[in-house]
Structure 1
Amino acid sequence: MKLSEGVEAAIHSAALLAGLEGGATMPAAALAEAYGLSPSYLLKHLNALASARILESVPGPAGGYRLARSPEKISLLDIVLAVEGPQPAFRCGEIRRNGPGKLPASAYVKPCGINAAMLRAEKAYRAALAAERLSDIVSQYLDEADARSVAASCAFVARHGRPQKSVLKQG
């Protein structure tokens, strides 16, 4: 199975945004710069994450993107489905019913065994992705990555994060 490069970009972007504090945002251009990506390419995936309510898009000069929920509540499956869509990776075209040895439909009353096996694998794959939390990935990175990489990431977040003004609710 091959996932698009957009999945990698989306996961990395969400992980970087997890480092923002206090409702701060980061512009799409900065996220694209962080990974050497085209801003227009990354924007497509950031918008998909915002549509799936994984990210929040904040308009205005100090706007940008931030996580819409805590990293503990975002799974890798959430991100993959936002970017790739909900369809299974394998789509059975029932090609067993084609070709010169084609039989009547009554010969194919049992489901295709290949399709059933692929759907079982898809279910296991999705369950594994659902168990992986963005917070766990970020924690593992902070614990295991080279200290220079962690320092560079933290400095990038500090340099490009845009603090947001608090809005006091009057009651």
Structure 2
Amino acid sequence: MKFSKATNYALHTMVYLADIPKGTSIGVDRLAETQKLSPTYLSKILTKLVKSGLIESTPGAKGGYRLARKADNITFLDVIRAIEGQTVLFYCSIDHDDDFSRNEECLIENAMIEAEEKMKESLDRKYIVDIAKLMRSQKNL
């Protein structure tokens, strides 16, 4: 199973934003620098996060990005859906009108959907704030 690099960068960005002081924001250049990305590429990811309501942008010289809601209310699944959308990871390649699968559902697809649902449930229990706290505690060691 593979998510896009954009999801990777979005998750790291969200954890970084969860760790900044409340009421402050971070510019795209600084966010891009932390992950060694081009600001243009990261801006596209940030736009998706803004549209999904996970972060907000503030204009002006001291503007930037910050979380739009509390980090303990943002799950990994929220971020993944903002970047990847709601598409399923597996589609059955067998035409259901042939002799092999006539009048039956694709059993392989059913197994894959079940696994995907379990993964979604797990990701929906992983909060951005938990990773931010772990990172903070590792810095203090």
Same fold by TM (over 0.5)? yes
Is the 2:96–2:105 Cα contact (8 Å) retained in structure 1? no
Q: CA RMSD in A?
A: 1.8
**Corresponding residue for 1:118?**
112
**Corresponding residue for 1:154?**
none
**Corresponding residue for 1:103?**
99
Tell me the distance in 2 between the aligned counterparts of 1:69 and 1:22: 11
1:139 partner amino acid = K
Cα deviation for residue 146 of structure 1 reads 4.6
Cα deviation for residue 94 of structure 1 reads 2.9
**Corresponding residue for 2:17?**
17
Tell me the distance in 2 between the aligned counterparts of 1:146 and 1:57: 28
Cα deviation for residue 96 of structure 1 reads 6.3
Deviations 1:36-83 (A, max 9, x none): 011111111111111111101112222111000011000000000101
SS of the aligned residue for 1:34 comes to helix
Q: Normalising by structure 2, report the TM-score.
A: 0.91
**Corresponding residue for 1:136?**
130
Tell me the distance in 2 between the aligned counterparts of 1:58 and 1:146: 29
Q: Which has the higher contact order (CA 8 A, sep 6+)?
A: 1
Q: Aligned residues: percent identity? A: 33
Unpaired segments ≥5 residues, structure 2: none
1:122 partner amino acid = E
Aligned length: 141
SS of the aligned residue for 1:20 comes to coil
Tell me the distance in 2 between the aligned counterparts of 1:142 and 1:95: 51
Runs of 4+ aligned residues of structure 1 deviating over 4 Å after TM superposition are none
**Corresponding residue for 2:54?**
54
Unpaired segments ≥5 residues, structure 1: 149-171
Deviations 1:119-139 (A, max 9, x none): 001100000000000111111
Are residues 31 and 147 of structure 1, via their aligned partners in 2, closer, same or farther at CA, if it must alter by over 3 Å?
A: same
